[in-house]
């Protein structure tokens, strides 16, 4: 299959032009991989719905990243563990306030060594203005232990978790694609070396490799994405390698070689577009896996830093809150994650079906 042509090329062939045959003329080029896939995808209703949900999430992430939404997630806007608005404010706690002192107020200023300085301190204190911010009794979906808005946190956490997953997947895809292309196209010594590297990385269980990297790289959004990328490239490498081996002997690549296309050009301008659909599907599978790993790492305190919020850190806080009956943070993080992950997985399934119909029904 040739690399995809823009829609304009196909269109111009269909439009009747004076002097040539009318509408039923042959298109100049057959429709490309992506065009055909898009047509198939449009018919998949579940796929389109999940795509729309993912698009909504992307919109929300863009809004939080630019600071238009959930900017003040770190502000303590409510009372500690403020319940959601639909539940009403928390009942007053039973513990009675300390009893007010009874009896006459004795004047002890004669013996109080600090007495002469009270007036001076009061004067100095008056120079500073303190603003008493009223703390909300309830928040739209409740507050956490220190009174931060759970809804804002969940939105900001979505940004962090999805960013880590996406970033990790993109880097892993780059590593896997470049190494797979090299290994598949050249074979020989390079291929053997890469195969050895692959066997080394895959012989160590994923989670152990991730933890080993986590010890070394420390915490933070960037390092988690990096760790996941360094561990997760292997599957993609293997598949890209297999595709490159298959394609490198195909006629179109040989023709390209015959007309003098350079090695790089053959690898990345000729073969790569023809295997890009495989890469895209693999990459979206990685995103889901990486998001789950990020949540686990952050829960264990090895993920994003303390100044960030992610679904994992929210779940870590939620564990102790649940015992006190404050379920809202747990529910918020779970629902956001479940909806996104389900929609993204269904979208990946639809993408796979659309881009690679041979794989349909094969899991």
Shortest spacing between CB 32 and another protein, in angstroms: 30
- Measured in degrees and rounded to the nearest 5, phi and psi for residue 78 equal -120, 175
Shortest spacing between CB 223 and another protein, in angstroms: 11
Shortest spacing between CB 337 and another protein, in angstroms: 6
Distance of alpha carbon 12 from alpha carbon 27, whole angstroms: 8
Shortest spacing between CB 262 and another protein, in angstroms: 32
* Of residues 73 and 336, the one with the C-beta less far from another protein: 336
Q: Does 362 participate in binding another protein (rule CB under 8 A)? A: yes
Q: How many residues does the chain have?
A: 363
Of residues 177 through 206, those in contact with another protein by CB under 8 A are 196-197, 199-201, 203-205
Q: Distance of CA 35 to CAs 9, 42, 46, 85, Å?
A: 12, 11, 19, 48
Shortest spacing between CB 288 and another protein, in angstroms: 9
* Of residues 35 and 345, the one with the C-beta less far from another protein: 345
**202-241 footprint of another protein as x/- string (CB under 8 A):** -xxx-xxx-xxxxxxx------------------------
Shortest spacing between CB 294 and another protein, in angstroms: 10
Cβ contacts of 49 within 8 Å, gap of 6 or more: none
Distance of alpha carbon 346 from alpha carbon 359, whole angstroms: 15
CB-CB contact of 269 with 151 (8 Å): no
Distance of alpha carbon 193 from alpha carbon 187, whole angstroms: 9
Distance of alpha carbon 325 from alpha carbon 314, whole angstroms: 16
**296-325 footprint of another protein as x/- string (CB under 8 A):** x--xxxx--------xx--x--xx--xx--
**267-296 footprint of another protein as x/- string (CB under 8 A):** -------------------------x--xx
Q: Which residues pair with 136 in a beta bridge?
A: 78
Distance of alpha carbon 202 from alpha carbon 182, whole angstroms: 19
CB-CB contact of 65 with 159 (8 Å): yes
Where on the chain is the footprint of another protein (CB under 8 A)?
Answer: 196-197, 199-201, 203-205, 207-209, 211-217, 292, 295-296, 299-302, 311-312, 315, 318-319, 322-323, 330, 334, 337-338, 341-342, 345-346, 361-363
């Amino acid at each position: 299959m040739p690399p995809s042509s823009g829609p304009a090329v196909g269109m111009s062939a269909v439009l009747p032009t004076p002097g040539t045959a009318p509408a039923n003329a042959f298109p100049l080029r057959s429709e490309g991989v992506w065009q055909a896939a898009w047509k198939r995808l449009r018919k998949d209703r579940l796929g389109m719905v999940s795509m729309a949900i993912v698009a909504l999430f992307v919109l929300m992430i863009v809004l939080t990243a630019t600071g238009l939404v959930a900017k003040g997630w770190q502000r303590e806007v409510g009372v500690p563990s403020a319940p959601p608005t639909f539940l009403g404010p928390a009942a007053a706690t039973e513990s009675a306030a300390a009893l007010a002192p009874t009896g006459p107020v004795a004047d002890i200023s004669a013996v109080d060594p600090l007495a002469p300085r009270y007036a001076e301190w009061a004067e100095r204190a008056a120079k500073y203005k303190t603003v008493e911010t009223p703390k909300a009794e309830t928040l739209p979906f409740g507050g956490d232990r220190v009174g931060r808005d759970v809804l804002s946190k969940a939105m900001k956490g979505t940004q962090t978790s999805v960013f880590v997953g996406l970033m990790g997947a993109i880097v892993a895809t780059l590593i896997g694609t470049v190494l797979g292309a090299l290994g598949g196209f050249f074979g020989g010594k390079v291929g053997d070396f890469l195969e050895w590297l692959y066997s080394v990385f895959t012989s160590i269980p994923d989670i152990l490799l991730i933890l080993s990297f986590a010890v070394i790289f420390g915490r933070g959004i960037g390092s988690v994405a990096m760790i996941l990328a360094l561990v997760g490239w292997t599957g993609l490498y293997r598949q890209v390698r297999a595709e490159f081996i298959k394609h490198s002997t195909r006629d179109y690549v040989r023709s390209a070689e015959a007309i003098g296309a350079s090695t790089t050009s053959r690898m990345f301008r000729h073969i790569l577009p023809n295997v890009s659909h495989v890469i895209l599907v693999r990459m979206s599978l990685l995103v889901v896996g990486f998001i789950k790993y990020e949540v686990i790492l952050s829960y264990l305190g090895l993920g994003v830093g303390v100044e960030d919020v992610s679904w994992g850190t929210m779940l870590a806080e939620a564990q102790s809150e649940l015992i006190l009956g404050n379920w809202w943070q747990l529910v918020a993080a779970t629902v956001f994650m479940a909806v996104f992950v389900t929609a993204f997985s269904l979208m990946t399934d639809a993408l796979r079906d659309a881009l690679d119909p041979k794989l349909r029904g094969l899991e």
